[in-house]
Structure 1
Amino acid sequence: MNAPSTMDSEDVLRIKLGVLRTEHRDLDEAIHLMEASGRADQLALRRLKKQKLGLKDRIARIEDLLTPDIIA
């Protein structure tokens, strides 16, 4: 049958989390390459690091949403 496939909000968050983690890893590699080159533009380097921190915050927020609150 041709029933439309639906994704619940948790599935969407997990996909978004994977994308953000990939972007974070890519930025980390770019930062390391710039630092290793010895000719890194400090302003560009600072911007990449700030962007990486922003991604880290977004990742943490999504992980908090996906982790159930357990009162022990």
Structure 2
Amino acid sequence: MPRLDVIQEVQLRNQLQNLIQQHRDLDTAIHSLELTGTSDPLQLRRLKKMKLDIKDKIQAIENMLIPDIIA
């Protein structure tokens, strides 16, 4: 994989921080909805799926930022 230039790395790190915040926000929303017990099960499923999608994006960006080390 080619090395990232400084601008690309900064952009990826900013995107990573935004995704991490979105993941936290979804976690809080899901937790709140589960506590009330009055939430729509379909809405909860959608939020959980969104959270998993964001987690996958976070992992992909982290993989791009952390170089593979061959031992």
Verify same fold: TM over 0.5. Answer: yes
Percent of paired sites with the same residue: 55
CA offset at residue 8 of structure 1? Answer: 1.0
Q: How far apart, CA to CA, are the structure 2 residues paired with 1:51 and 1:32?
A: 14
Q: How far apart, CA to CA, are the structure 2 residues paired with 1:23 and 1:38?
A: 23
Q: How far apart, CA to CA, are the structure 1 residues paired with 2:47 and 2:29?
A: 8
CA offset at residue 40 of structure 1? Answer: 1.1
Alignment partner, residue 48 of structure 2: 49
TM-score, normalised to structure 2's length? 0.90
Deviation per CA, 1:33-57: give whole Å up to 9, x if none: 0000011100000000000000000
TM-score, normalised to structure 1's length? 0.89
Report the number of matched residues.
66
Q: How far apart, CA to CA, are the structure 1 residues paired with 2:64 and 2:9?
A: 9
Alignment partner, residue 61 of structure 2: 62
Give the alignment of 1:1-72 within 5 angstroms: 8-72=7-71
Question: Over the residues paired in the alignment, what is the CA RMSD in angstroms?
Answer: 0.8
In the alignment, structure 1 segments of 5+ residues that lack a partner are 1-6
In the alignment, structure 2 segments of 5+ residues that lack a partner are 1-5
Deviation per CA, 1:7-29: give whole Å up to 9, x if none: 61001000000000000000000
